[in-house]
Structure 1
Amino acid sequence: MQRVLWSGLIVLLYLFLLAPILVVFVVSFDTRNYLAFPPESWSFGSYAKVFRNAAFISSFGRSVVIGLAVSLAAVTMGTLLSLALVRWKFRGREAISFLVLAPFLVPHIVLAVGIMLVLAPLGLLDSYRGIILAHLGITVPYTVRTITMSLMAVDRRVEEAAMVHGAAPLTVFRRITLPLIRPGLIAGGVIAFLISFDEATISLFIVSVKTSTLPTEIYNYLEISTDPQIAALSVILILISIAVVIAVERLVGLRKAL
């Protein structure tokens, strides 16, 4: 009896957590020109409108390009910082480690204002360089975290054995260390991409017209209209996120990567 009650409680908890997604999924098939639940009639018209919306398509492409650039830069910076924090002992290491992870503790709205005040005098607002730098500020801590955990799990004796047999430090890093920390690199890159792709708060302070990302385009669209097209776009983005998670699981295994 107790097991049945626990199972029922777990099912109810999952339903509560998934209810918003399920409602969005159902509403995306509505034929009315406003958001309402339940749907009056069913159609794929909202999905067709999404793929015909030039603003959504172009901003989606920009978000993908920016996300890939941020992911590559965040993994590179995260690897260098993780190597310094894990392998080297120097004065101020703890302070640097705290500063790297500090964005975890600061609300995004505060970060957004600070980043805007830094980028504005440099003329980097509404530019690809500006949005990439802004997103690096919130993604690097995640890559440092995942790559640091992978580095701490590496057996240093393997690297030392390679160096004893004459391998140069760069060769050891390229042939031994990198393959061993690959799950952390992949996890950090995927997390950085998803955070950059989905970031709205900071982007609203940085971008305008030339570099409008998909989240900011959605926000601008909601200011003038609320129809099932937004729900359809949300479902598409959810499916993309699920596909990315499945890809990571197939490549390295989700638990191993995280």
Structure 2
Amino acid sequence: MRPASLGLNVWLTAVLLFLPAPIVIVVVSSFSRTGYLQFPPQALSLRWYAQFLTDETWLKALAVSFVVALVVAILTTVISFLAALATTRRRFAGRGAFEILLLSPLLFPHAAIGVALLSLLSAMGWIGRYPGILLAHVILCVPFAYRPIVNSMRKLDLALEEAAMSLGARPTYVFRTVTLPLLRPGLVTALLFSFIISFDEVTVTIFLIGPEVITLPTRIFAHIQESASPVVAAISSFLVLVTIVLVVLLQRFVGLELFVEAETRR
């Protein structure tokens, strides 16, 4: 092996080891017995996980995050599906601009989006209410849901639909029994990624929460400002585990290749 190649491999290995290092530190610190964050912990304990799972405040925030993420995932998948259906099955003026609009939340800092939504939702009276949080999360999740669905649609063989209709099947029946099953991987990918992104979102949500609606990530942020208790590390480790499990299931049963641009466009 050439010295240059060896050096490159060493650097790549160092980078790959460095990237998960903060997560490893947080997970290990969550097992500390002391009342403050310590790495490495002098003694191991599950007390902070027990506190998280028995504290009504944390469990309420967890429930709020779960419900919001579930509703957002469903709404975002439906909206992205309809948008992908329009851009792949219809030709209309401004189609390119429409797609850029759908993906535009990726182009702006979340803090700027949060300030803009704060002004908009204040005028609508939705600050600190579920409709405002749902609207903000849907806006943020649409780009991640639209991409796999539109790629799945571009890979769809339209001849299968035409064959079904040529045999006398009604369009609604073809859509339900042919199109939707073929698009299932893209829809499942959009659903799960929208759930993950909404469940973990904090930057924009921190601008919009109120006494009635406090999600788990924003509750963690507020707790860190008041205390350095390892319960935050325990909750963060729990969120990391949930995210990893969902991504592994997604890769195992659907695959992540739908985030790659389709090779053939229609």
CA shift, 1:256, in A, is 5.9
The counterpart of 2:183, out of the listed 181, 184, 195, is 181
Instruction: Return the alpha-carbon distance in structure 2 between the equivalents of residues 209 and 251 of structure 1.
Output: 39
Tell me how far 1:43 sits from its aligned partner.
1.3
Secondary structure class of the residue paired with 1:61: helix
Aligned-partner Cα distance in 1 for 2:99–2:6? 46
Deviation at 1:248, TM superposition (A): 1.8
2:75 equivalent among 52, 73, 76 = 73
Matched residue SS, 1:121? helix
- Correspondence 1:95 to 2:97: yes
- The one-letter code of the counterpart of 1:31 is R
For residues 136-155 of structure 1, what are the structure 2 equivalents within 5 Å? 136-155=138-157
2:40 corresponds to = 38
Q: Distance in 2 between matches of 1:69 and 1:23?
A: 33
Aligned to 1:243: 245
> Paired residue for 1:171?
173
Contiguous gaps of at least 5 residues in structure 2: 261-266
Cα separation, 1, equivalents of 2:96 and 2:252: 36
Query: Whole-Å Cα distance in 2 between the matches of residues 14 and 98 of structure 1?
Result: 32
Aligned match of 1:114: 116
Instruction: Determine whether 1:221 maps to 2:204.
Output: no
Which letter maps to 1:211? V
Cα distance in 2 for residues equivalent to 1:104 and 1:16: 26
Q: Say which is worse superposed, 4-13 or 204-213, in terms of deviation.
A: 4-13
Provide Cα deviations, 1:52-71, integer angstroms capped at 9, x if missing partner: 22211110011000000000
Question: What CA distance in whole angstroms lies between the structure 1 residues aligned with 2:122 and 2:148?
Answer: 31
Match of 2:21 among 19, 22, 25: 19
Aligned residue in 1 for 2:56: 54
Contact (CA 8 Å) 1:184, 1:257: kept in 2 or not? Answer: no
Per the alignment, residue 263 of structure 2 pairs with none
AA matched with 2:167: H
Distance change >3 Å, CA 112–CA 256, structure 1 → 2: closer
Query: Could you tell me the percent identity over the aligned residues?
Result: 38
- Structure 2 counterpart of 1:235, one-letter code: S
Task: Tell me the CA shift for residue 257 of structure 1.
Answer: 7.7
Report the alpha carbon displacement of residue 48 of structure 1 after superposing the two structures with TM. 1.2
> Partner amino acid for 1:112?
G
Gaps of 5+ in 1: none
Q: How many Å separate the matches in 1 of 2:139 and 2:257?
A: 26
Any idea what SS the aligned residue of 1:209 has? coil
One-letter amino acid of the structure 2 residue matched with residue 215 of structure 1: P
2:207 paired with 1:205:
yes
User: What is the distance in 2 between the residues matched to 1:240 and 1:96?
Assistant: 33
Structure 1 position 254, deviation (Å): 4.0
- Contact 2:148/2:186, CA 8 A, preserved across alignment: yes
Change (3 A) 1:251 1:221: same
Aligned equivalent of 1:127: 129
Residue deviations 1:101-134 (CA, integer Å, cap 9, x gap): 1111011111111112111121111111111111
The TM-score with structure 1 as length reference comes to 0.94
Distance in 2, matches of 1:247 and 1:225, equals 35
- State the Cα distance separating 1:9 from its structure 2 match: 4.2
Aligned to 1:232: 234
Residue 182 of structure 1, CA deviation: 0.9
Is the 8 Å Cα contact of residues 199 and 215 (structure 1) preserved in structure 2? yes
Determine if contact 1:26/1:39 at 8 Å carries over to the other structure: yes
The alignment covers a number of residue pairs equal to 258
In structure 2, C-alpha distance between the alignment counterparts of 1:188 and 1:207, rounded to whole Å: 25
CA distance in 1, matches of 2:79, 2:55: 36
Contact 1:187 1:257 in 2 (8 A): no
Could you state the TM-score of these two structures normalised by the residue count of structure 2?
0.91
